Amino acid sequence: MMLTLFETLLLGIFIAAIVVASHWFGQQAYTWMPVAATAEAEQVDRLFSFLVAVGAFIFLGVIGIILYSILFFRAPTGDYSEGHPSRGDARIEILWTAVPTVLVLWIAFQSYDIYERLQILGLTPVVHLHLQEPAVAQTVQNQAKPAVEQIEVIAKQWVWSFRYPNNITSNELHLPVHRSVRLVLHSQDVIHGFYVPEFRVKQDIIPARTITLVLTPNRTGKYRLRDSQFSGTYFALMEADVYVESPTAYSHWLEQATQQQKKTAVNPAFSAGAQSEKTLLNSGWRTGSFKNYT
């Protein structure tokens, strides 16, 4: 009886230890990501931290069981018999079926909630299976929730441009902090990818489609927009500055932008593309220039 009680106490201590260690790993996961700059990013980070904690708990638990078995249940010398399998225990069957099921459903619900917050629209299937009438599809598109600001994002090789209210255009993305902003994404040539690591958003932009999403920035600062899709040579240089600022500073910038002419985006791809064609290693393959876009 004392041995059973002792083993139960050790098991309790072991479980408590790996719970504490798993929680610590989950908290460390917040430092593995860039700083969260939107309300949606904070929810993504919480889910990521939870997944790390669960993974650490499972990993440490399995390693602990393996080490315990090696230390206390080693077969004696010359014993080649097989262990008796555990079958027919309904409690174990229910436990290892119910726990993963509940866990996966909870993760799915959290993921769905994040997508609901982003309110991504315009992702109807490329191949239409006629599962709904066009009128119904149009009604779904019009169900977007209101946002304080709406900004158009236009992607083309090799520059981002942004159109604000009152037809203000710029090569910089300015967003007011603590206000919901709807981004209307367009591509004028190939598939691009809207990717700001601090926003935890990486959305494909497909030609001839209008895709919208809603963000709520909650941290002022300067960030970097990148093209996450391979959209051709020099796509890695297709970047733009993103500024999250106070509503007063945002309004002041809009007033200044109305009085300024649009500037051509500075991109190293322009100077590379303006160079004359060259032959690479006498192979006959030319490093041809491409059309500049402004």
Is the pLDDT at 84 greater than 80? The verdict is: no
Is the pLDDT at 119 greater than 60? The verdict is: yes
**How many degrees, rounded to 5, is the angle at CA 242 between CA 236 and CA 244?**
155
Q: What CA–CA distance (Å, rounded) separates 182 from 203?
A: 13
Domain contains 83 = no
Domain contains 100 = no
Domain count for the chain:
2
Q: Which of 34, 55, 72 is the last residue of a domain?
A: 72
Domain contains 8 = yes
Q: What CA–CA distance (Å, rounded) separates 267 from 238?
A: 7
Report the pLDDT averaged over residues 184-203. Answer: 92
Domain contains 186 = yes
The CATH number of whichever domain residue 225 belongs to comes to 2.60.40.420
- Burial class of 107 by CB neighbour count within 10 A (0 to 12, 13 to 18, 19+): middle
- Burial class of 176 by CB neighbour count within 10 A (0 to 12, 13 to 18, 19+): buried
Which is more confident, 79 or 103?
Answer: 103
Is-contact 294 265, C-beta < 8 A? yes
Domain contains 120 = no
pLDDT at 278 (0 to 100): 58
Residue 23's closest CA among 65, 57, 66, 71?
57
pLDDT at 2 (0 to 100): 47
What pLDDT, in 10s, does the model give residues 201-236? 899 999 989 999 999 999 999 999 999 988 777 788
Domain contains 19 = yes
Q: What CA–CA distance (Å, rounded) separates 15 from 23?
A: 12
pLDDT at 249 (0 to 100): 95
Residue 120's closest CA among 209, 208, 241?
209
Is the pLDDT at 123 greater than 90? The verdict is: no
Report the pLDDT averaged over residues 252-264. Answer: 77
Helix H, strand E, coil C: the string for 70-133 is HHHCCCCCCCCCCCCCCCCCHHHHHHHHHHHHHHHHHHHHHHHHHHHHHCCECCCCCCCCCCCC
Report the pLDDT averaged over residues 54-76. Answer: 88
- Considering the domain architecture, whether residues 260 and 157 belong to the same structural domain is answered as yes
Which is more confident, 211 or 83?
Answer: 211
Q: Give pTM, 2 decimals.
A: 0.73
Q: What CA–CA distance (Å, rounded) separates 109 from 254?
A: 39
Tokens of 251: 């309004």
Report the pLDDT averaged over residues 100-121. Answer: 85
Among 7-21, 132-146, 213-227, where is mean pLDDT lowest?
132-146
Q: pLDDT band at residue 133, thresholds of 50, 70 and 90?
A: very low
Q: pLDDT band at residue 291, thresholds of 50, 70 and 90?
A: very low
Q: What CA–CA distance (Å, rounded) separates 243 from 146?
A: 22
- Considering the domain architecture, whether residues 66 and 160 belong to the same structural domain is answered as no
pLDDT at 195 (0 to 100): 94
Domain contains 227 = yes
pLDDT at 144 (0 to 100): 58
Domain contains 209 = yes
Which is more confident, 105 or 114?
Answer: 105
Task: Identify the domain containing residue 165 by its residue range.
Answer: 144-264
Contacts of residue 189, Cβ cutoff 8 Å, sequence gap at least 6: 156, 157, 207, 231
Report the pLDDT averaged over residues 11-35. Answer: 92
Report the pLDDT averaged over residues 150-169. Answer: 91
Q: What CA–CA distance (Å, rounded) separates 188 from 294?
A: 12
